[in-house]
Structure 1
Amino acid sequence: MNAGNLKKSLNNYFDDYDDIGVTVYAVLKNQDSSDPVKLDIEADALGGLKELFMDSLRDTLLDKDELSILNLSSSDERVDAVYVYDLELPVELTSLEKVITQDNLPLLNLNDESLSSIKSLLIEIGNNVGQLVLYKTMASINIYGRSSFFLKKSQSRLEKLNDEFLRVSAGFQMLRIDDSLLVIDLATLEKSFGFHDVIKREAASGISAIESASLVENPDVLHELIEDVKYARKLTKVAKSSPVIKAGIPSTTIVDFCKTFPRLAGRIRFNENEDKILLDTKVSKDLFINLLMDNYLTSELTSYHYTSVAKDSVDNEETNDSSSTDSNQTDE
């Protein structure tokens, strides 16, 4: 999926605005199953929720002039990127699929369950032609229980509000559309759903690829990095899309590059035979991962050297109409 395809799909929902409906489901805390439950909401309130989240879709995605769509496994550090989830799916996130595929999900019984048991909302928007689902976490500050004291305006006076209530704001963290799961808020994903465990397993594949390439004298130090989600994500990217490993660049060529490229020269050390890289500092580990992602570039026009974390292949220009925001640093 690219930005053009995403916006085209979203526009279809706006074109059919009057004919689409909204249904809201909840994922509950402390339950064995990830099965969502349906919320029974009055028609007027559903209309307001549809307007709220359609506006949110427009502001978050549709009206963005520059929007990059990247695979989560090969994500970089560009701003305002949307990530296509292409890794092992945590159990809780299967709830988005269940909303699409199952019509007989049970109603939430408010006599048995408190609103405080709601962990997240799933907002399904669409009709019998197509549906999208938004995933929205519910922070505890948005759930008000009977233990608090609230007053509401009633004509010219204030009355006590006795029941629990939810505050539903605009915004969402994930979007399921056209059989793709898109991550809007990467930070929420990294903190939830056992995502770190998924990343750790993928990162281990990246380390295996590095070990197979015989590039590093002491690859065991990379295993220590897996516990840090920041590094685990980078090693996952290496496993999925390292241009250096995919191209099978010989270790001798890589070592020579490290000795001559201005950003790397003198900052990465080697073994006694100088045929493998020695990772003995945090800086060298960071530089090595960037090296595997081919982030050190030389302009064919000016011969200037750059560090570029965000880059789009020229081969993909016609299929990806999003604009990339490159993070470039001149080294000389």
Structure 2
Amino acid sequence: MNKKQLIESLNFFINNDQLGITVYCLLKKDESFMPKALDIKDNDVASLTQLFTTSISQNLLHKEELSVLPLSSSDERKNVIYEYDLEIPEELKSLDTILSTDNIPKFSFQTDDFLDIKALLIEIGNNENQIVLYKTMAPINIFGRKSFFLKQVLSNERFEKINEDFIRISSGFQLLKVNNSLFVIDLETIEKFFGFHDIIKKEATQSLDVIEQIKLLENPETLKELIEDVTFARKLTKVAKNSPVIKTGIPNKDIIGFTLTHPAVKGKLRYNQTKDKIQLDTKVSKNLFVKLLNDDFLTSELTKLYYDSLAKDGVSEEQSTNDIN
């Protein structure tokens, strides 16, 4: 899904007073995850819906510089939403559960524990269209009766102890599911939770298999040493799924020729005796090689200047014409 399609999908949920909302808490018990519906007072539903639709509008729809990229192509750019295209962690499969099931049990204070809540799932929509927001719940936002909290009473001067369990719900969220696509709003959260590092390492290993198949390296096994480095492993994940060099089938001799002439790479790589394979012997050379496969070294057609660029959002001839018109 591109940016235009995402915005069109989200616009349906903005300023639409015919939508309902259901909030689920995601409980973690014995390493398994279970959604439970929260029974919320009817009078509070409208304000809760407004809280999240306003957040969607402000943080997604009104950001002109926002880009949409596959998660496997994540880089250091800001203002990016990533469409999830990797293995789905068990915890995130709960978003599909609430979309496909109508009889999810309610949260009960008799059988469920507030402290087991790991996230909130906010479903907004009608019978035809739904959106689900994933919101992590830090312990600081979950308040049990074992703690001691005070609230203001009517006198404006006196405080009294709160004897109920309660949670604090703010407007932020980290993931969003719409039209069968899952989007990462906060990449940092994804990297901290869900066993994401293991997923990245698995994807990086698949990229190593692809690299070996093109027979461009004299010693491809040296890349395996850096799989445990998550930063490097993330760069490798792009190769199998999104390497423009591999996808377009650039011949190895052309790749070698490029490395011998482009200023960003020239003199920084070593080769075998016949100069038909690259030999990686330093961490710098390994990073340069991954950049090479991800086509990060560019030349301006206008100025003939050379660049090392992460941002390479493709523009078709049709898009360029539409922008002019």
Smaller-chain TM-score range? over 0.9
Equivalent residue for 2:42?
43
Equivalent residue for 2:6?
6
1:110, CA displacement in angstroms? 1.3
Equivalent residue for 1:141?
140
1:77–1:310 contact (8 Å) kept in structure 2: no
Structure 2 vs 1, CA of residues 54 and 113 (structure 1 numbering), >3 Å: closer, same or farther? same
DSSP 3-state at the match of 1:209: helix
Equivalent residue for 2:278?
277
Output the amino acid matched with 1:282.
K
Equivalent residue for 1:330?
none
2:28–2:34 contact (8 Å) kept in structure 1: no
2:24–2:37 contact (8 Å) kept in structure 1: yes
Deviates more, 1:48-57 or 1:265-274: 265-274
Output the amino acid matched with 1:224.
E
Equivalent residue for 2:56?
57
Per-residue CA deviations over 1:207-233 (Å, capped at 9, x if unaligned) read 111111111121112112222222222
Equivalent residue for 1:166?
167
1:317, CA displacement in angstroms? 6.3
DSSP 3-state at the match of 1:273: coil
**Rounded Cα–Cα distance in structure 2 between residues aligned with 1:32 and 1:93:** 14
Identity among equivalent pairs (%):
54
Equivalent residue for 2:226?
225
Per-residue CA deviations over 1:249-269 (Å, capped at 9, x if unaligned) read 232222222121111112222
Equivalent residue for 2:256?
255
1:45, CA displacement in angstroms? 3.0
**Rounded Cα–Cα distance in structure 2 between residues aligned with 1:28 and 1:233:** 30
In the alignment, is residue 182 of structure 1 matched against residue 183 of structure 2? yes
1:22–1:125 contact (8 Å) kept in structure 2: yes
DSSP 3-state at the match of 2:145: coil
Per-residue CA deviations over 1:141-195 (Å, capped at 9, x if unaligned) read 1112223211111201321101221111111000001111111111111221122
DSSP 3-state at the match of 1:284: helix
**Rounded Cα–Cα distance in structure 2 between residues aligned with 1:181 and 1:98:** 14
Equivalent residue for 2:92?
93
RMSD between aligned residues: 1.9
1:35–1:98 contact (8 Å) kept in structure 2: no
**Rounded Cα–Cα distance in structure 1 between residues aligned with 2:305 and 2:94:** 49
Output the amino acid matched with 1:55.
T
Given the two structures, how large is their TM-score scaled by the length of structure 1?
0.91
Output the amino acid matched with 1:74.
S
**Rounded Cα–Cα distance in structure 1 between residues aligned with 2:131 and 2:317:** 27
Deviates more, 1:284-293 or 1:245-254: 245-254
1:294, CA displacement in angstroms? 0.9
2:81–2:183 contact (8 Å) kept in structure 1: yes
Output the amino acid matched with 1:305.
Y
Per-residue CA deviations over 1:274-299 (Å, capped at 9, x if unaligned) read 22212221211111111001111111
1:108, CA displacement in angstroms? 1.3
List gaps (5 residues or longer) in structure 1: 323-332
**Rounded Cα–Cα distance in structure 1 between residues aligned with 2:216 and 2:52:** 49
DSSP 3-state at the match of 2:147: coil
**Rounded Cα–Cα distance in structure 2 between residues aligned with 1:241 and 1:11:** 29
Deviates more, 1:94-103 or 1:145-154: 145-154
1:34–1:94 contact (8 Å) kept in structure 2: no
In the alignment, is residue 214 of structure 1 matched against residue 215 of structure 2? yes
1:297–1:306 contact (8 Å) kept in structure 2: yes
1:316, CA displacement in angstroms? 7.5
1:118, CA displacement in angstroms? 0.2
2:51–2:171 contact (8 Å) kept in structure 1: yes
In the alignment, is residue 102 of structure 1 matched against residue 122 of structure 2? no
How many residue pairs match? The answer is 320
DSSP 3-state at the match of 2:131: strand
2:133–2:176 contact (8 Å) kept in structure 1: yes
1:32, CA displacement in angstroms? 4.8
List gaps (5 residues or longer) in structure 2: none
Deviates more, 1:68-77 or 1:204-213: 68-77
Output the amino acid matched with 2:235.
K
DSSP 3-state at the match of 1:34: strand
Structure 2 vs 1, CA of residues 316 and 119 (structure 1 numbering), >3 Å: closer, same or farther? farther
DSSP 3-state at the match of 2:253: helix
DSSP 3-state at the match of 1:95: helix
1:100, CA displacement in angstroms? 0.8
2:14–2:57 contact (8 Å) kept in structure 1: no
